[in-house]
Structure 1
Amino acid sequence: MKKCRLGGRLLCWQLVGVLGLLWLPFASAGELKMGLVAPLSGASASLGTGMREGIEARFAEVNAAGGVHGKRLVLLSRDDHYEPLRAAPETRQLIEEEEILASIGNVGTPTAIVTIPLHQQHQTLLYGAFTGAGGLRLEPPDRYVINYRASYVQETAAMIEGLLQAGIAPQEIAFFTQNDGYGDAGYIGGIRALEAHGFDDAQDLAHGRYTRNTRNIHQGLATILQAPVTPRAIIIVGTYGPAADFIREARTDLPEALFLNVSFVGSQALADELGEMAEGVIVTQVVPPLDADLPAVHAYRDALARHDQSAEPGFISLEGYLAASLFIKGLEAAGENPDREKLVDALLGLGEVDLGLGDPVSLGIGDHQASDAVWPTRIRHGHFELLDWSSGLLP
């Protein structure tokens, strides 16, 4: 290697410093790279595309204002079709070859189960995953897993609380869930909530299941129809396709029943699939209503319109936008040349943060979930309205 002859020792060291930065994986070419692994095609595509739209809208907003410490935010997206066997290699490729700073907005519980060990192995953050499963909410928390949204336990607990408040007896509740870790998480949350209310026979309630990435709902429906007590409320933990098929079929035999879904179902896709039969269907949300008069919601709608005029506002993309907003606060706090460890430390050092939601969200060393809020909504004339459990639940 030739000696530096460009005007003295000081300039030489400056040049060496600049060249050194080019080798830093998270600061190269003035970019900060994040990765998203989610279903971007297939039956659950609206879940992945919704998260990507929200995150990209927030990143575009920040990039237009000069980036974070002058660095442009880049989101590298990979399609796993909502299948664990595809999620693992896609995640590994992003972490090892693309050298992403963090994963953000990954979709699904079964896919998270197989990718969390990769994030742990490479000490790379999995942030803001679109799942409320308990496997991402351990005690003590996993250093490399930080959540934005409320858990499925909190969503189903809100459902149980509301149903009991409305006068529905515990034995009149049934469950229809996806047969994997996602379905298990929601079901266990509901059972625990019932047991907390003193109902000791919760595990004897009718529980129908279906296989992930299929719409084979009939055996699960048959299980529920055979319940010794006719269900008046059915808690569904699934995706929009099979959930819509189940509701459509079940209404024939249970015309007075209430159908309740957790947020992961894909609210708008569910409403679109059901059409007029969506009337009265309940969905718990982990973000505010889309028409809420809140600064964060107004900012989201404006950013989405600027970034992608073809995108319709939705609960999933709003979640992606809000999760990205908090993530960017962590990036800013991590300094001009963040690495994977600095980012985790910065996020966990944020404490309370005002995102424009009325109440602050918060993160800390022992608190890896930013928001605990759940908004119950009901579909009325094709729109999602905030639900008051005491106002009467029948369609």
Structure 2
Amino acid sequence: MLKATRFSGRHYSVRLNFALLRHFQLSSLLLIFLSFIFAIGAEAWAQSSESKDNKGEILLGMSTALSGPAEQLGKNMLLGVNMQFEQENNQGGINGRKLRLIALDDGYEPNRTAPNMRTLIEKNKVLAVIGNVGTPTAISAIPIANEKQTLLFAPFTGAGVLRKTPPDRYIINYRASYAEETATMVDALIKHAGLKPEEIAFFTQRDGYGDAGYIGGITALLKNGLKSKSQVVHGRYERNTLSVDNALADIILAEVTPKAIIMVGAYAPCARFIKLARESGVNALFLNVSFVGSAPLAKQLGENIKGVVVTQVVPHPENLSLPVVKEYRDALKAFAPEALPSFGSLEGYIAAKIMTKALKTIGGKPTRESLIDALEALGKFDAGVGNPLYFDTNSHQASHMVWPTRLEKGKFVSFEWPDIASFVEQ
């Protein structure tokens, strides 16, 4: 008789009649015995692994700009997501599971995003990817997300490539599109400031990001009476450079002196362009889309430059009347007291808040598919931003809101669109 052996709280008794040994070779019996023990052990290991997994964590990924000219955008997005996850973890996590984010640096370069996405999905086995920064990097991430059937959620970009009709199942957005931002600018400039379509110029990054904003703006101008896009001057610069001089020259030499310039770029080149333009006597109003990064742009421009507008896709982080802003500021105070409030980190916080809202509706261990189902099932919901948000199988963009801000004494403050006429030099 062999003693009973314990595996994960179960007792298994093994009885051997030694009289049987005369019918079996020792090696055959040993093989049978070891196979039996292995089967029991495998069952016990599986039960132990399942038990451990049930008490485990929810692992999420991010490929973002943590270095290079756009690093402040990535760092702010990362901060916002991490703060919201920490808040949830301090309250016990999601149904007992703690949230953990793995962030990889792509420097805002698409050739680094693709391997990052594969590492996060294939090696790290993340449940989803959240908060990636940039359009050119998103263009690299989208096919991998679709191929690996893994959610790319709330990327920090308003490009149309992420907003197909019907939508890609594995691409879900929070923010308004660049087309919506530039269309709002155009409508305000024509309706409230009385500009003619040909008095509006463009300064854009030479890639998918710049193209997305430019196409949205031109489409809006055509709807407002522009006869041909050739009537509008368009200066461009290369991504991750400060080479804006040629773009500025194109605008200065335009047949029609622009009274407003719509800008679709990163904060460093946009700041340099605005400074050089002012030094060259250009008195136009400069209007930037949200991706520019308000805080780093303001820091580089300083307190003396005026006539700069940035459209935002989240409320102002000083607006404490909104529940989500108050929650965000509490998180900032608790987890990053040295950090200043910013539109970028607030966007990351809101994106994470929406994801955790969906995760809480999933019974049992969340999967890549159940997370998407949970987000689509949210329908009309409140995230504390002042307007209802909406998701379903055909609507993969939660918000369509655009808020205007203008630079005043080194900070971006809120204003109402009818006031834009007073900022434009007639």
TM-score under structure 1 length normalisation = 0.94
In structure 2, C-alpha distance between the alignment counterparts of 1:29 and 1:110, rounded to whole Å: 38
The correspondence for 2:333, drawn from 275, 293, 305, is 305
Q: CA deviation at 1:260?
A: 0.4
Match of 2:56 in 1: 30
Q: Map 1:81-160 onto structure 2 (within 5 A).
A: 81-160=107-186
Deviation at 1:362, TM superposition (A): 1.0
Q: Displacement of 1:352 after TM fit? A: 1.2
**Aligned counterparts of 2:364 and 2:341: Cα–Cα separation in 1:** 33
Higher-Rg member (1/2):
2
TM-score (norm 2): 0.88
Question: Is 1:230 matched up with 2:260?
Answer: no
Higher mean C-alpha displacement, 346-355 vs 123-132: 346-355
Cα distance between partner residues in 2 of 1:179 and 1:315: 25
Does the CA-based 8 Å contact 1:248-1:277 persist in structure 2? no
**How far apart in 2 are the matches of 1:348 and 1:278?**
44
| Contact preservation (8 Å) 2:380, 2:389 | yes
Is 1:382 aligned to residue 410 of structure 2? yes
Kindly indicate whether the alpha-carbon contact (under 8 Å) linking 2:304 and 2:409 is maintained by their aligned counterparts in 1: no
Q: Indicate yes or no: 2:189 matched with 1:163.
A: yes
CA distance in 2, matches of 1:83, 1:248: 26
Task: Note if 1:347 corresponds to 2:347.
Answer: no
Quote how far apart the aligned CAs of 1:18 are.
Answer: 3.6
- 1:333 positional shift: 1.6
Unaligned runs of 5+ in 2: 13-40
Give the match's secondary structure for 1:19: helix
Q: Which residue of structure 2 aligns with residue 63 of structure 1?
A: 89
Output the CA distance in 1 between the equivalents of 2:233 and 2:385. Answer: 38
Cα distance change on mapping 1:295 and 1:6 into 2, 3 Å: closer
Give the corresponding residue for 1:181.
208
* 2:24 aligned partner: none
C-alpha separation in 1, matches of 2:304 and 2:363: 51
**Residues 289, 384 of structure 1: 8 Å contact kept:** no
Return the match for 1:290 from 317, 325, 347: 317
- Is the alpha carbon distance of 1:3 and 1:147 closer, same or farther for their aligned partners in structure 2, counting shifts above 3 Å? same
Find the aligned partners of 1:263 and 1:117 in 2 and give their Cα distance.
Answer: 25
C-alpha RMSD over aligned residues: 2.0
CA 1:337/1:103 → structure 2, altered by over 3 Å: closer, same or farther? same
Q: 1:229 to 1:29 in 2, by over 3 A?
A: same
Unaligned runs of 5+ in 1: none
Q: What do residues 165-213 of structure 1 show as CA deviations (whole Å, max 9, x unaligned)?
A: 2111111100000000000000000001111123222343100000000
| DSSP-derived class of the 1:74 partner | strand
Q: Is the 8 A contact 1:271 1:278 kept in 2?
A: no
- Return the letter of the residue paired with 1:104: I
Question: Percent identity of the aligned residues?
Answer: 49
Q: Give the superposition deviation at 1:5.
A: 8.2
Paired letter, 1:229: V
Question: Is the Cα–Cα contact under 8 Å of residues 88 and 114 in structure 1 kept in the other structure?
Answer: yes
Which residue is 2:27 aligned to? none
Q: Are 2:423 and 1:393 aligned?
A: yes
The Cα shift of 1:3 comes to: 8.3
